[in-house]
Amino acid sequence: MNDRKFPRRPTALILGAGGIVLAAAGTFLAVYPWSNPNRVETPSVPTIAVSPSTQTAPSPQSTPEKPAQVYWLSIAGDVTKLVPTQVNLSASSKTTDDLKAAFDRLLAGPQNPDNVTSIPPGTTLRNLTMEGDNIRIDLSKEFTSGGGSASMKGRLAQVLYTATSIKPTAKVWISIEGKPLTTLGGEGLELEQPLTRQNFEENFPL
């Protein structure tokens, strides 16, 4: 019996064919990657850039000025109190005009019998200026005539509080016939200017 002989294929040819198959498989995987059919893709959320706000905070409103008032005295025994009375003026009037009108009424004397004044008759307002919180008042020489210390403190309080009725924190300079008022009355009530409501209450309580 004759043995059949099969032709031998070179081993190199088989190895070469195997390399081609592996290379083709790698190319397929690179082009068509495997994916998980159950995988859920998370939708991308667009990023929104928020610009910083350029809106400026509203500036605090300035404190509105109060209406002008005239201050009288109310005396009951040994107790003296200041009594304010509002001055009704036209809406078009200016702050300085309001104060001048208030002083005209103050120096004219009270109309209410329950109110009194310690400002001597004949006292006139020679000049009044207002710049910001600074008020300058020039009175006639009659303002310093007559009366004791209580009367001097009373008239000084009337002038000071009437002048600062629009702006209670304002500073006041008082002059007589153009000269700064340094002492008041025969008892020599010494004044340090400018005057304010605060330093008056500390140094000259009624």
Asked if residues 73 and 81 have their Cβ atoms less than 8 Å apart, the reply is yes
The domain locations on the chain are: 69-203
Contact between residue 118 and residue 189 where contact means Cβ atoms under 8 Å apart:
no
Give start and end residues of each alpha helix (H) in the chain.
11-31, 95-108, 149-163, 197-203
Which segments within 109-170 are labelled E, that is strand?
Answer: 125-131, 134-139
pLDDT at 93: 60
Per-residue pLDDT of the chain (206 residues; tens, 9 = 90+): 444 444 444 444 333 444 443 344 444 334 344 344 444 454 454 443 444 444 444 444 444 467 899 999 998 888 899 999 988 766 556 788 999 999 999 999 999 988 999 999 999 999 999 999 999 999 999 999 988 888 999 999 999 999 999 999 999 999 999 999 998 776 667 889 999 999 999 988 88
Kind of pairing between the strands at 134-139 and 125-131: antiparallel
Q: Are 157 and 165 in contact (CB under 8 A)?
A: no
Q: Is the dihedral of CA 195, 201, 204, 206 positive or negative?
A: positive
In this predicted structure, what is the pLDDT of residue 36?
44
